[in-house]
Amino acid sequence: VLQVTLASLLLGTGYISYSLYRESHPKAQQPQTETFPDGRPRKTLVILGSGWGSVSLLKSLDTTLYNVIVISPRNYFLFTPFLPSTPVGTVDLKSIVEPMRSIVRRSQGEVKYVEAEATDIDPITKEIKIEENHGEIKTSLKYDYLVVAVGSQPTTFGIPGVKEHSSFLKEVSDAKKIREKILENLELASNLSEDDPKRKRLLSFVVVGGGPTGVEFAAELKDYVDQDLTKWMPKLSKEIRVTLVEGTPNILGSFDKKLIKYAEDTFNEEHIDLQLRTRVKSVNCENVQALNPNGELIDIPYGVLVWATGNAPREVTKNLMSKLEEQTSRRGLLIDEKLRLLGAENSIYAIGDCTFYPGLFPTAQVAHQEAEYLSRVFKKLNKIDQLEWQVQKTKANENITEKDTKTLDKNIDKLPTKIENFKYNHLGALAYIGAEKAVADLSMFGTSKQYLTGSFTFLFYKSAYLAMCLSFRNRILVTLDWAKVYFFGRDSSV
Ligand code: FAD
Ligand code: NAI
Protein backbone atom coordinates (compact mmCIF):
# COMPACT_ATOMS: atom_id res chain seq x y z
CA VAL A 1 0.00 0.00 0.00
CA LEU A 2 2.85 2.33 0.95
CA GLN A 3 4.61 1.68 -2.34
CA VAL A 4 1.46 2.33 -4.36
CA THR A 5 0.76 5.54 -2.40
CA LEU A 6 4.32 6.75 -2.89
CA ALA A 7 4.26 5.88 -6.58
CA SER A 8 0.93 7.72 -7.05
CA LEU A 9 2.26 10.75 -5.18
CA LEU A 10 5.38 10.81 -7.33
CA LEU A 11 3.40 10.39 -10.52
CA GLY A 12 0.89 13.08 -9.43
CA THR A 13 3.62 15.56 -8.53
CA GLY A 14 5.44 14.79 -11.78
CA TYR A 15 2.28 15.35 -13.81
CA ILE A 16 1.46 18.64 -12.06
CA SER A 17 5.04 19.93 -12.45
CA TYR A 18 5.13 18.95 -16.11
CA SER A 19 1.74 20.59 -16.81
CA LEU A 20 2.75 23.80 -15.03
CA TYR A 21 6.09 23.88 -16.85
CA ARG A 22 4.38 23.34 -20.22
CA GLU A 23 1.89 26.14 -19.52
CA SER A 24 4.55 28.63 -18.48
CA HIS A 25 7.05 27.75 -21.23
CA PRO A 26 5.23 28.03 -24.57
CA LYS A 27 6.88 26.62 -27.68
CA ALA A 28 7.95 28.79 -30.63
CA GLN A 29 4.98 29.71 -32.82
CA GLN A 30 4.70 29.54 -36.58
CA PRO A 31 4.58 33.25 -37.60
CA GLN A 32 1.75 34.77 -39.63
CA THR A 33 2.54 35.23 -43.33
CA GLU A 34 0.66 36.59 -46.35
CA THR A 35 0.96 33.31 -48.26
CA PHE A 36 1.46 29.56 -47.81
CA PRO A 37 4.65 27.95 -49.22
CA ASP A 38 2.77 27.05 -52.45
CA GLY A 39 1.92 30.70 -53.04
CA ARG A 40 -1.74 30.43 -51.95
CA PRO A 41 -2.88 33.53 -50.04
CA ARG A 42 -3.44 32.87 -46.35
CA LYS A 43 -6.86 34.05 -45.26
CA THR A 44 -7.51 36.30 -42.29
CA LEU A 45 -9.80 34.97 -39.60
CA VAL A 46 -10.99 37.56 -37.11
CA ILE A 47 -12.51 36.43 -33.82
CA LEU A 48 -14.45 38.93 -31.72
CA GLY A 49 -14.44 38.31 -27.97
CA SER A 50 -12.35 36.66 -25.27
CA GLY A 51 -15.05 34.62 -23.59
CA TRP A 52 -16.18 31.00 -23.68
CA GLY A 53 -16.87 30.94 -27.43
CA SER A 54 -13.66 32.64 -28.60
CA VAL A 55 -11.27 30.97 -26.20
CA SER A 56 -12.72 27.49 -26.80
CA LEU A 57 -12.30 28.16 -30.53
CA LEU A 58 -8.70 29.26 -30.06
CA LYS A 59 -7.96 26.12 -28.07
CA SER A 60 -9.26 23.74 -30.73
CA LEU A 61 -8.47 25.67 -33.93
CA ASP A 62 -5.44 24.86 -36.07
CA THR A 63 -4.10 28.41 -35.97
CA THR A 64 -1.41 27.67 -38.56
CA LEU A 65 -4.09 27.61 -41.28
CA TYR A 66 -5.14 31.27 -40.99
CA ASN A 67 -3.86 34.65 -39.94
CA VAL A 68 -5.87 34.73 -36.74
CA ILE A 69 -6.65 38.06 -35.08
CA VAL A 70 -8.59 38.22 -31.80
CA ILE A 71 -10.26 41.47 -30.83
CA SER A 72 -11.72 42.02 -27.39
CA PRO A 73 -11.81 44.89 -24.91
CA ARG A 74 -11.31 42.37 -22.10
CA ASN A 75 -7.70 41.15 -22.04
CA TYR A 76 -8.51 37.98 -20.12
CA PHE A 77 -10.82 34.98 -20.14
CA LEU A 78 -13.27 34.78 -17.24
CA PHE A 79 -14.41 31.40 -15.93
CA THR A 80 -18.02 32.47 -15.23
CA PRO A 81 -19.28 29.35 -13.36
CA PHE A 82 -17.32 30.47 -10.28
CA LEU A 83 -18.15 34.18 -10.62
CA PRO A 84 -21.03 33.99 -8.07
CA SER A 85 -18.48 32.67 -5.51
CA THR A 86 -16.20 35.69 -5.81
CA PRO A 87 -18.05 38.64 -4.22
CA VAL A 88 -18.10 36.84 -0.85
CA GLY A 89 -14.56 35.48 -1.21
CA THR A 90 -15.20 31.74 -1.58
CA VAL A 91 -13.01 31.95 -4.66
CA ASP A 92 -10.59 34.74 -5.52
CA LEU A 93 -11.21 36.66 -8.75
CA LYS A 94 -7.57 36.22 -9.81
CA SER A 95 -8.02 32.45 -9.66
CA ILE A 96 -10.71 32.40 -12.36
CA VAL A 97 -9.16 34.62 -14.98
CA GLU A 98 -6.56 33.74 -17.58
CA PRO A 99 -4.71 36.48 -19.53
CA MET A 100 -5.36 36.55 -23.28
CA ARG A 101 -1.63 36.99 -23.82
CA SER A 102 -0.95 33.59 -22.31
CA ILE A 103 -3.84 31.98 -24.22
CA VAL A 104 -2.79 33.31 -27.65
CA ARG A 105 0.86 32.56 -26.98
CA ARG A 106 0.13 28.88 -26.41
CA SER A 107 -1.38 28.21 -29.86
CA GLN A 108 0.67 26.57 -32.58
CA GLY A 109 0.40 29.34 -35.16
CA GLU A 110 0.87 32.99 -34.20
CA VAL A 111 -2.35 34.68 -33.07
CA LYS A 112 -2.55 38.47 -32.85
CA TYR A 113 -4.51 39.88 -29.96
CA VAL A 114 -5.82 43.46 -30.07
CA GLU A 115 -7.32 44.95 -26.92
CA ALA A 116 -10.15 46.85 -28.55
CA GLU A 117 -13.91 46.93 -28.95
CA ALA A 118 -15.53 46.20 -32.29
CA THR A 119 -18.09 48.93 -32.91
CA ASP A 120 -19.22 48.29 -36.45
CA ILE A 121 -19.18 45.31 -38.82
CA ASP A 122 -19.74 45.78 -42.52
CA PRO A 123 -20.76 42.40 -44.02
CA ILE A 124 -20.49 43.74 -47.60
CA THR A 125 -16.98 45.21 -47.51
CA LYS A 126 -15.88 42.69 -44.84
CA GLU A 127 -14.51 45.44 -42.67
CA ILE A 128 -14.66 45.95 -38.91
CA LYS A 129 -14.32 49.27 -37.14
CA ILE A 130 -12.57 49.01 -33.80
CA GLU A 131 -11.94 51.36 -30.91
CA GLU A 132 -8.91 51.04 -28.67
CA ASN A 133 -8.23 52.75 -25.38
CA HIS A 134 -11.91 53.59 -24.68
CA GLY A 135 -12.48 55.21 -28.08
CA GLU A 136 -9.25 57.21 -28.18
CA ILE A 137 -7.85 55.28 -31.17
CA LYS A 138 -10.23 54.37 -33.98
CA THR A 139 -9.10 52.02 -36.72
CA SER A 140 -10.52 49.36 -39.00
CA LEU A 141 -9.43 46.01 -40.37
CA LYS A 142 -10.48 43.58 -43.07
CA TYR A 143 -11.42 39.93 -42.66
CA ASP A 144 -11.99 36.95 -44.91
CA TYR A 145 -13.85 35.05 -42.20
CA LEU A 146 -15.33 36.52 -39.05
CA VAL A 147 -16.48 34.79 -35.89
CA VAL A 148 -18.74 36.94 -33.73
CA ALA A 149 -18.58 35.78 -30.11
CA VAL A 150 -19.18 39.02 -28.23
CA GLY A 151 -21.57 37.51 -25.67
CA SER A 152 -24.41 39.53 -24.23
CA GLN A 153 -25.06 42.24 -21.68
CA PRO A 154 -27.36 42.07 -18.65
CA THR A 155 -30.95 42.94 -19.44
CA THR A 156 -32.94 45.44 -17.39
CA PHE A 157 -36.14 45.21 -19.48
CA GLY A 158 -36.05 49.02 -19.37
CA ILE A 159 -37.19 48.92 -15.72
CA PRO A 160 -36.59 52.39 -14.26
CA GLY A 161 -33.80 52.76 -11.72
CA VAL A 162 -32.14 49.37 -12.34
CA LYS A 163 -29.03 50.70 -14.10
CA GLU A 164 -28.53 53.48 -11.54
CA HIS A 165 -29.01 51.55 -8.32
CA SER A 166 -28.22 47.87 -8.80
CA SER A 167 -25.15 45.77 -9.49
CA PHE A 168 -25.08 43.10 -12.19
CA LEU A 169 -23.08 39.88 -11.91
CA LYS A 170 -21.48 39.46 -15.30
CA GLU A 171 -17.93 40.76 -15.16
CA VAL A 172 -15.00 41.01 -12.75
CA SER A 173 -15.82 44.68 -12.11
CA ASP A 174 -19.39 43.70 -11.08
CA ALA A 175 -18.13 41.16 -8.55
CA LYS A 176 -15.70 43.72 -7.09
CA LYS A 177 -18.46 46.31 -6.81
CA ILE A 178 -20.79 43.90 -5.00
CA ARG A 179 -18.02 42.88 -2.59
CA GLU A 180 -17.18 46.48 -1.74
CA LYS A 181 -20.85 47.31 -1.21
CA ILE A 182 -21.44 44.33 1.11
CA LEU A 183 -18.38 45.09 3.25
CA GLU A 184 -19.17 48.81 3.34
CA ASN A 185 -22.75 48.13 4.44
CA LEU A 186 -21.65 45.75 7.19
CA GLU A 187 -19.34 48.39 8.68
CA LEU A 188 -21.88 51.21 8.27
CA ALA A 189 -24.62 49.12 9.89
CA SER A 190 -22.39 48.13 12.81
CA ASN A 191 -21.98 51.82 13.67
CA LEU A 192 -25.73 52.39 13.89
CA SER A 193 -27.95 51.55 16.85
CA GLU A 194 -30.03 48.38 16.63
CA ASP A 195 -33.34 50.25 16.45
CA ASP A 196 -32.19 52.52 13.63
CA PRO A 197 -34.31 51.65 10.55
CA LYS A 198 -31.34 52.48 8.32
CA ARG A 199 -29.41 49.61 9.95
CA LYS A 200 -32.17 47.18 8.93
CA ARG A 201 -32.17 48.46 5.36
CA LEU A 202 -28.37 48.34 5.03
CA LEU A 203 -28.47 44.70 6.10
CA SER A 204 -31.16 43.77 3.58
CA PHE A 205 -29.45 42.02 0.65
CA VAL A 206 -31.82 41.63 -2.29
CA VAL A 207 -31.23 39.57 -5.43
CA VAL A 208 -33.66 39.97 -8.35
CA GLY A 209 -33.99 37.04 -10.78
CA GLY A 210 -34.31 33.40 -9.75
CA GLY A 211 -32.36 31.96 -12.69
CA PRO A 212 -29.07 30.12 -12.01
CA THR A 213 -27.09 33.37 -11.54
CA GLY A 214 -29.46 34.80 -8.91
CA VAL A 215 -29.86 31.45 -7.12
CA GLU A 216 -26.12 30.72 -6.94
CA PHE A 217 -25.31 34.21 -5.73
CA ALA A 218 -28.06 34.24 -3.06
CA ALA A 219 -26.76 30.83 -1.90
CA GLU A 220 -23.15 32.06 -1.68
CA LEU A 221 -24.25 35.18 0.18
CA LYS A 222 -26.16 33.14 2.77
CA ASP A 223 -23.19 30.77 3.22
CA TYR A 224 -20.99 33.79 3.91
CA VAL A 225 -23.41 35.09 6.53
CA ASP A 226 -23.94 31.70 8.22
CA GLN A 227 -20.42 30.32 8.02
CA ASP A 228 -18.26 33.41 8.54
CA LEU A 229 -20.11 36.51 9.67
CA THR A 230 -21.68 34.58 12.56
CA LYS A 231 -18.12 34.25 13.92
CA TRP A 232 -16.85 37.77 13.30
CA MET A 233 -20.07 39.80 13.72
CA PRO A 234 -22.35 37.43 15.68
CA LYS A 235 -25.04 39.95 16.61
CA LEU A 236 -25.13 41.76 13.29
CA SER A 237 -25.14 38.56 11.25
CA LYS A 238 -28.50 37.56 12.78
CA GLU A 239 -30.06 40.75 11.44
CA ILE A 240 -28.93 40.16 7.83
CA ARG A 241 -31.74 39.21 5.50
CA VAL A 242 -31.14 37.63 2.09
CA THR A 243 -34.12 37.97 -0.26
CA LEU A 244 -34.53 36.45 -3.71
CA VAL A 245 -37.24 38.03 -5.86
CA GLU A 246 -38.53 36.02 -8.84
CA GLY A 247 -41.33 37.00 -11.21
CA THR A 248 -42.50 33.47 -12.08
CA PRO A 249 -43.89 30.82 -9.65
CA ASN A 250 -40.51 29.03 -9.32
CA ILE A 251 -36.78 29.57 -9.18
CA LEU A 252 -34.48 27.67 -11.59
CA GLY A 253 -37.26 27.50 -14.17
CA SER A 254 -35.17 25.52 -16.69
CA PHE A 255 -34.51 22.65 -14.24
CA ASP A 256 -36.69 19.59 -13.53
CA LYS A 257 -39.62 20.02 -11.09
CA LYS A 258 -38.03 17.71 -8.47
CA LEU A 259 -34.85 19.77 -8.46
CA ILE A 260 -36.80 23.02 -8.26
CA LYS A 261 -38.67 21.74 -5.19
CA TYR A 262 -35.42 20.59 -3.57
CA ALA A 263 -33.79 23.96 -4.22
CA GLU A 264 -36.79 25.90 -2.88
CA ASP A 265 -36.99 23.69 0.23
CA THR A 266 -33.27 24.22 0.85
CA PHE A 267 -33.69 27.99 0.51
CA ASN A 268 -36.58 27.90 3.01
CA GLU A 269 -34.53 25.82 5.48
CA GLU A 270 -31.63 28.23 5.11
CA HIS A 271 -33.98 31.18 5.76
CA ILE A 272 -33.45 32.78 2.38
CA ASP A 273 -36.55 34.88 1.88
CA LEU A 274 -38.06 33.63 -1.41
CA GLN A 275 -40.49 36.11 -2.95
CA LEU A 276 -41.99 34.21 -5.87
CA ARG A 277 -44.56 35.51 -8.38
CA THR A 278 -43.19 38.94 -7.50
CA ARG A 279 -42.25 41.07 -10.46
CA VAL A 280 -40.06 44.13 -9.98
CA LYS A 281 -41.49 47.24 -11.62
CA SER A 282 -39.07 49.95 -10.55
CA VAL A 283 -36.10 50.64 -8.32
CA ASN A 284 -35.14 53.73 -6.35
CA CYS A 285 -32.14 54.42 -4.12
CA GLU A 286 -33.66 52.61 -1.12
CA ASN A 287 -36.45 50.33 -2.33
CA VAL A 288 -37.33 47.80 -4.96
CA GLN A 289 -40.96 48.26 -5.98
CA ALA A 290 -42.60 45.03 -7.04
CA LEU A 291 -46.02 43.64 -7.89
CA ASN A 292 -46.74 40.81 -5.43
CA PRO A 293 -48.92 37.70 -6.16
CA ASN A 294 -52.01 39.61 -4.96
CA GLY A 295 -51.40 42.33 -7.51
CA GLU A 296 -50.33 44.85 -4.87
CA LEU A 297 -47.36 47.15 -5.34
CA ILE A 298 -44.95 46.53 -2.45
CA ASP A 299 -41.69 48.12 -1.35
CA ILE A 300 -38.72 45.87 -0.59
CA PRO A 301 -36.03 47.95 1.13
CA TYR A 302 -32.48 47.05 0.18
CA GLY A 303 -28.92 47.89 1.17
CA VAL A 304 -27.30 45.79 -1.55
CA LEU A 305 -29.18 45.02 -4.75
CA VAL A 306 -27.99 42.47 -7.31
CA TRP A 307 -29.84 42.29 -10.62
CA ALA A 308 -29.76 38.95 -12.51
CA THR A 309 -32.71 38.79 -14.88
CA GLY A 310 -30.93 37.38 -17.95
CA ASN A 311 -29.30 38.57 -21.16
CA ALA A 312 -29.78 41.19 -23.89
CA PRO A 313 -27.78 41.75 -27.12
CA ARG A 314 -24.81 44.12 -27.07
CA GLU A 315 -24.72 47.34 -29.15
CA VAL A 316 -22.35 45.87 -31.77
CA THR A 317 -24.72 42.91 -32.18
CA LYS A 318 -27.78 45.15 -32.57
CA ASN A 319 -25.86 47.25 -35.08
CA LEU A 320 -25.00 44.16 -37.16
CA MET A 321 -28.61 42.92 -36.98
CA SER A 322 -29.87 46.25 -38.30
CA LYS A 323 -27.74 45.83 -41.45
CA LEU A 324 -29.19 42.52 -42.60
CA GLU A 325 -32.85 42.10 -43.46
CA GLU A 326 -32.66 38.37 -42.62
CA GLN A 327 -31.98 39.32 -38.99
CA THR A 328 -35.54 39.53 -37.74
CA SER A 329 -35.12 38.58 -34.06
CA ARG A 330 -34.47 41.05 -31.27
CA ARG A 331 -33.12 38.33 -28.99
CA GLY A 332 -29.82 37.74 -30.80
CA LEU A 333 -28.09 37.01 -34.09
CA LEU A 334 -29.95 34.45 -36.19
CA ILE A 335 -27.73 31.67 -37.48
CA ASP A 336 -28.30 28.58 -39.60
CA GLU A 337 -27.55 24.96 -38.67
CA LYS A 338 -23.91 25.50 -39.68
CA LEU A 339 -23.64 28.52 -37.35
CA ARG A 340 -23.44 30.90 -40.33
CA LEU A 341 -24.95 34.32 -39.83
CA LEU A 342 -28.20 34.64 -41.79
CA GLY A 343 -27.60 37.22 -44.50
CA ALA A 344 -23.80 36.81 -44.46
CA GLU A 345 -23.49 33.03 -44.77
CA ASN A 346 -20.25 33.07 -46.75
CA SER A 347 -18.07 34.93 -44.34
CA ILE A 348 -19.60 35.46 -40.89
CA TYR A 349 -20.17 32.87 -38.17
CA ALA A 350 -21.70 33.62 -34.78
CA ILE A 351 -21.56 31.57 -31.59
CA GLY A 352 -22.49 31.78 -27.93
CA ASP A 353 -24.67 34.25 -26.07
CA CYS A 354 -24.82 36.79 -28.92
CA THR A 355 -26.91 34.35 -30.99
CA PHE A 356 -30.49 33.18 -30.86
CA TYR A 357 -31.23 29.66 -32.09
CA PRO A 358 -34.31 27.77 -30.84
CA GLY A 359 -33.33 24.99 -28.40
CA LEU A 360 -29.89 26.39 -27.65
CA PHE A 361 -29.59 28.20 -24.30
CA PRO A 362 -27.05 30.91 -23.57
CA THR A 363 -24.62 28.71 -21.63
CA ALA A 364 -20.89 28.09 -21.60
CA GLN A 365 -21.59 24.51 -22.60
CA VAL A 366 -23.30 25.59 -25.83
CA ALA A 367 -20.65 28.22 -26.66
CA HIS A 368 -17.88 25.65 -26.06
CA GLN A 369 -19.45 22.98 -28.29
CA GLU A 370 -20.19 25.51 -31.04
CA ALA A 371 -16.56 26.64 -30.92
CA GLU A 372 -15.24 23.09 -31.21
CA TYR A 373 -17.54 22.52 -34.19
CA LEU A 374 -16.29 25.74 -35.85
CA SER A 375 -12.68 24.64 -35.48
CA ARG A 376 -13.56 21.60 -37.59
CA VAL A 377 -15.43 23.81 -40.08
CA PHE A 378 -12.40 26.07 -40.51
CA LYS A 379 -10.20 23.08 -41.14
CA LYS A 380 -12.54 22.01 -43.94
CA LEU A 381 -12.87 25.53 -45.31
CA ASN A 382 -9.09 25.68 -45.57
CA LYS A 383 -9.12 22.42 -47.47
CA ILE A 384 -11.77 23.82 -49.83
CA ASP A 385 -9.76 27.03 -50.31
CA GLN A 386 -6.69 24.94 -51.07
CA LEU A 387 -8.56 22.89 -53.70
CA GLU A 388 -10.08 26.00 -55.25
CA TRP A 389 -6.60 27.49 -55.48
CA GLN A 390 -5.30 24.36 -57.17
CA VAL A 391 -8.24 24.41 -59.62
CA GLN A 392 -7.58 28.03 -60.48
CA LYS A 393 -3.95 27.24 -61.12
CA THR A 394 -4.87 24.23 -63.28
CA LYS A 395 -7.41 26.30 -65.23
CA ALA A 396 -4.73 28.88 -65.89
CA ASN A 397 -2.80 26.16 -67.67
CA GLU A 398 -3.35 26.63 -71.44
CA ASN A 399 -3.45 22.88 -72.20
CA ILE A 400 -6.50 22.14 -70.03
CA THR A 401 -9.56 20.82 -71.90
CA GLU A 402 -13.14 22.10 -71.41
CA LYS A 403 -14.17 18.66 -70.11
CA ASP A 404 -11.46 18.79 -67.42
CA THR A 405 -12.61 22.26 -66.37
CA LYS A 406 -16.22 21.06 -65.97
CA THR A 407 -15.13 18.07 -63.87
CA LEU A 408 -13.09 20.34 -61.61
CA ASP A 409 -16.04 22.76 -61.20
CA LYS A 410 -18.37 19.89 -60.31
CA ASN A 411 -15.97 18.69 -57.61
CA ILE A 412 -15.75 22.17 -56.15
CA ASP A 413 -19.56 22.52 -56.09
CA LYS A 414 -19.82 19.34 -54.10
CA LEU A 415 -17.33 20.33 -51.40
CA PRO A 416 -19.28 22.71 -49.09
CA THR A 417 -22.08 20.17 -48.63
CA LYS A 418 -19.54 17.95 -46.90
CA ILE A 419 -19.60 20.22 -43.86
CA GLU A 420 -21.98 18.54 -41.44
CA ASN A 421 -24.53 20.51 -39.40
CA PHE A 422 -23.83 21.49 -35.81
CA LYS A 423 -25.32 19.04 -33.30
CA TYR A 424 -25.60 20.06 -29.67
CA ASN A 425 -25.03 17.32 -27.13
CA HIS A 426 -26.62 18.45 -23.86
CA LEU A 427 -24.62 16.99 -20.97
CA GLY A 428 -26.83 18.47 -18.26
CA ALA A 429 -26.99 21.42 -15.91
CA LEU A 430 -25.63 22.03 -12.43
CA ALA A 431 -26.38 24.72 -9.89
CA TYR A 432 -25.09 25.46 -6.40
CA ILE A 433 -27.93 26.12 -3.96
CA GLY A 434 -26.04 26.80 -0.72
CA ALA A 435 -25.27 24.97 2.52
CA GLU A 436 -22.89 22.76 0.51
CA LYS A 437 -25.68 21.35 -1.62
CA ALA A 438 -26.15 21.41 -5.36
CA VAL A 439 -28.68 20.19 -7.91
CA ALA A 440 -27.77 18.38 -11.12
CA ASP A 441 -29.90 17.67 -14.15
CA LEU A 442 -27.78 15.20 -16.09
CA SER A 443 -28.44 13.71 -19.50
CA MET A 444 -27.21 10.15 -19.54
CA PHE A 445 -26.41 8.53 -22.87
CA GLY A 446 -28.31 11.14 -24.84
CA THR A 447 -31.85 10.53 -23.59
CA SER A 448 -32.24 9.11 -20.07
CA LYS A 449 -32.16 11.72 -17.31
CA GLN A 450 -30.53 11.58 -13.93
CA TYR A 451 -31.47 14.01 -11.17
CA LEU A 452 -29.03 14.46 -8.32
CA THR A 453 -29.32 16.59 -5.19
CA GLY A 454 -27.46 17.23 -1.94
CA SER A 455 -23.92 17.27 -0.62
CA PHE A 456 -22.58 14.52 -2.87
CA THR A 457 -23.88 16.53 -5.85
CA PHE A 458 -22.00 19.53 -4.46
CA LEU A 459 -18.75 17.53 -4.60
CA PHE A 460 -19.63 16.45 -8.12
CA TYR A 461 -20.38 20.10 -9.02
CA LYS A 462 -17.02 21.20 -7.61
CA SER A 463 -14.99 18.54 -9.39
CA ALA A 464 -16.86 18.93 -12.69
CA TYR A 465 -16.25 22.69 -12.80
CA LEU A 466 -12.68 22.33 -11.55
CA ALA A 467 -11.98 19.99 -14.46
CA MET A 468 -13.46 22.58 -16.84
CA CYS A 469 -11.15 25.40 -15.68
CA LEU A 470 -9.11 26.74 -18.54
CA SER A 471 -5.62 26.13 -17.21
CA PHE A 472 -3.80 24.04 -14.69
CA ARG A 473 -2.86 27.26 -12.91
CA ASN A 474 -6.58 28.10 -12.48
CA ARG A 475 -7.31 24.62 -11.13
CA ILE A 476 -4.58 24.86 -8.53
CA LEU A 477 -5.54 28.40 -7.49
CA VAL A 478 -9.24 27.51 -7.09
CA THR A 479 -8.37 24.40 -5.06
CA LEU A 480 -6.11 26.49 -2.82
CA ASP A 481 -8.92 29.07 -2.39
CA TRP A 482 -11.31 26.32 -1.25
CA ALA A 483 -8.69 24.97 1.14
CA LYS A 484 -8.09 28.50 2.50
CA VAL A 485 -11.82 28.98 3.13
CA TYR A 486 -12.06 25.55 4.77
CA PHE A 487 -9.26 26.29 7.24
CA PHE A 488 -9.44 30.06 7.78
CA GLY A 489 -12.89 31.12 6.55
CA ARG A 490 -13.63 33.76 3.91
CA ASP A 491 -11.55 36.91 3.79
CA SER A 492 -13.59 39.92 4.95
CA SER A 493 -11.31 42.67 3.67
CA VAL A 494 -11.66 44.47 0.34
P1 FAD B 1 -18.77 35.67 -23.09
O2 FAD B 1 -18.11 34.56 -22.38
O3 FAD B 1 -19.59 36.64 -22.29
O4 FAD B 1 -17.64 36.47 -23.87
C5 FAD B 1 -17.91 37.60 -24.64
C6 FAD B 1 -16.60 38.29 -24.94
O7 FAD B 1 -16.80 39.30 -25.91
C8 FAD B 1 -15.98 38.98 -23.72
O9 FAD B 1 -14.62 38.73 -23.71
C10 FAD B 1 -16.25 40.44 -23.98
O11 FAD B 1 -15.31 41.29 -23.36
C12 FAD B 1 -16.14 40.49 -25.50
N13 FAD B 1 -16.78 41.64 -26.12
C14 FAD B 1 -17.86 42.33 -25.68
N15 FAD B 1 -18.15 43.32 -26.54
C16 FAD B 1 -17.25 43.23 -27.54
C17 FAD B 1 -17.03 44.00 -28.72
N18 FAD B 1 -17.79 45.04 -29.05
N19 FAD B 1 -15.98 43.65 -29.52
C20 FAD B 1 -15.18 42.60 -29.21
N21 FAD B 1 -15.36 41.86 -28.11
C22 FAD B 1 -16.37 42.16 -27.29
N23 FAD B 1 -22.88 28.68 -18.25
C24 FAD B 1 -22.72 27.37 -17.99
O25 FAD B 1 -22.82 26.56 -18.93
N26 FAD B 1 -22.45 26.92 -16.73
C27 FAD B 1 -22.33 27.76 -15.68
O28 FAD B 1 -22.11 27.35 -14.55
C29 FAD B 1 -22.47 29.15 -15.91
N30 FAD B 1 -22.36 30.02 -14.90
C31 FAD B 1 -22.51 31.35 -15.14
C32 FAD B 1 -22.40 32.25 -14.08
C33 FAD B 1 -22.57 33.60 -14.30
C34 FAD B 1 -22.46 34.55 -13.15
C35 FAD B 1 -22.82 34.08 -15.60
C36 FAD B 1 -22.99 35.56 -15.84
C37 FAD B 1 -22.95 33.20 -16.66
C38 FAD B 1 -22.80 31.83 -16.44
N39 FAD B 1 -22.91 30.91 -17.47
C40 FAD B 1 -22.75 29.58 -17.24
C41 FAD B 1 -23.20 31.37 -18.84
C42 FAD B 1 -21.89 31.50 -19.64
O43 FAD B 1 -20.97 32.29 -18.94
C44 FAD B 1 -22.17 32.12 -20.99
O45 FAD B 1 -23.13 31.39 -21.66
C46 FAD B 1 -20.88 32.18 -21.80
O47 FAD B 1 -19.97 33.06 -21.20
C48 FAD B 1 -21.15 32.60 -23.24
O49 FAD B 1 -19.94 32.66 -23.92
P50 FAD B 1 -19.70 33.79 -25.03
O51 FAD B 1 -18.35 33.55 -25.58
O52 FAD B 1 -20.84 33.84 -25.94
O53 FAD B 1 -19.73 35.16 -24.22
P1 NAI C 1 -32.14 33.65 -16.59
O2 NAI C 1 -32.70 34.25 -17.81
O3 NAI C 1 -31.84 32.22 -16.55
O4 NAI C 1 -33.10 33.98 -15.35
C5 NAI C 1 -33.60 35.27 -15.10
C6 NAI C 1 -34.76 35.18 -14.11
O7 NAI C 1 -35.18 36.49 -13.80
C8 NAI C 1 -35.96 34.45 -14.68
O9 NAI C 1 -36.33 33.42 -13.80
C10 NAI C 1 -37.04 35.52 -14.80
O11 NAI C 1 -38.33 35.06 -14.54
C12 NAI C 1 -36.59 36.51 -13.71
N13 NAI C 1 -37.07 37.88 -13.94
C14 NAI C 1 -37.04 38.57 -15.10
N15 NAI C 1 -37.55 39.82 -14.91
C16 NAI C 1 -37.91 39.90 -13.61
C17 NAI C 1 -38.48 40.93 -12.82
N18 NAI C 1 -38.79 42.13 -13.32
N19 NAI C 1 -38.74 40.68 -11.51
C20 NAI C 1 -38.42 39.47 -10.97
N21 NAI C 1 -37.88 38.47 -11.67
C22 NAI C 1 -37.61 38.68 -12.97
O23 NAI C 1 -30.82 34.54 -16.27
P24 NAI C 1 -29.47 34.15 -15.54
O25 NAI C 1 -29.70 33.47 -14.26
O26 NAI C 1 -28.66 35.40 -15.51
O27 NAI C 1 -28.78 33.12 -16.54
C28 NAI C 1 -28.39 33.53 -17.85
C29 NAI C 1 -27.88 32.31 -18.62
O30 NAI C 1 -26.67 31.84 -18.01
C31 NAI C 1 -28.86 31.15 -18.58
O32 NAI C 1 -28.87 30.50 -19.82
C33 NAI C 1 -28.30 30.23 -17.54
O34 NAI C 1 -28.60 28.87 -17.79
C35 NAI C 1 -26.79 30.48 -17.65
N36 NAI C 1 -26.19 30.25 -16.33
C37 NAI C 1 -25.96 28.94 -15.98
C38 NAI C 1 -25.47 28.63 -14.72
C39 NAI C 1 -25.30 27.21 -14.35
O40 NAI C 1 -25.43 26.34 -15.21
N41 NAI C 1 -24.99 26.88 -13.11
C42 NAI C 1 -25.14 29.69 -13.74
C43 NAI C 1 -25.47 31.02 -14.21
C44 NAI C 1 -25.96 31.27 -15.46
Across 205-219, 353-367, 438-452, 477-491, least confident range: 438-452
Model confidence at 419, pLDDT cuts 50, 70, 90, reads: confident
Q: Is 312 in the pocket of ligand 2 (CB under 6 A)?
A: no
- Residue 440's pLDDT is 96
Q: Is 343 in the pocket of ligand 1 (CB under 6 A)?
A: no
Residue with the bigger pLDDT between 273 and 445: it is 273
User: What is the pLDDT averaged over residues 388-417?
Assistant: 75
Percentage of residues in the chain having pLDDT higher than 90: 83
The protein residue whose alpha carbon is closest to atom 27 in ligand 1 is 81
Percentage of residues in the chain having pLDDT higher than 70: 98
* Prediction ipTM score: 0.99
User: What is the pLDDT averaged over residues 15-39?
Assistant: 87
Model confidence at 445, pLDDT cuts 50, 70, 90, reads: low
Query: Over 80: is that where the pLDDT of 366 sits?
Result: yes
Ligand 1 nearest-atom number relative to CA 351? 52
Ligand 2 nearest-atom number relative to CA 154? 26
- What's the pLDDT tens digit per position in 60-88? 999 999 999 999 999 999 999 999 999 99
pTM metric for this prediction: 0.95
Model confidence at 124, pLDDT cuts 50, 70, 90, reads: very high
- Residue 397's pLDDT is 76
- Residue 22's pLDDT is 80
Ligand 1 nearest-atom number relative to CA 53? 51
Ligand 2 center to 289 CA (angstroms): 19
- Residue 403's pLDDT is 80
Query: Over 70: is that where the pLDDT of 447 sits?
Result: no
Ligand 2 center to 142 CA (angstroms): 36
- Residue 414's pLDDT is 65
> Three-state secondary structure along the chain?
CHHHHHHHHHHHHHHHHHHHHHHHCCCCCECCCCECCCCCECCEEEEECCCHHHHHHHHHCCCCCCEEEEEECCCEEECHHHHHHCCCCCCCHHHHEEEHHHHHHCCCECEEEEEEEEEEEECCCCEEEEEECCCCEEEEEECCEEEECCCEEECCCCCCCHHHHCECCCCHHHHHHHHHHHHHHHHHHHCCCCCCHHHHHHCEEEEECCCHHHHHHHHHHHHHHHHHHHHHCHHHHHHCEEEEECCCCCCCCCCCHHHHHHHHHHHHHCCCEEECCCEEEEECCCEEEEECCCCCEEEEECCEEEECCCEEECHHHHHHHHHCCCCCCCCCEEECCCCEECCCCCCEEECHHHEECCCCCCCHHHHHHHHHHHHHHHHHHHHHHHHHHHHHHHHCCCCCCHHHHHHHHHHHHHHHHHCCCCCCCCCEEEEEEECCEEEEEEEECCCEEEEEEEHHHHHHHHHHHHHHCCCHHHHHHHHHHHHHHHHHCCCCCC
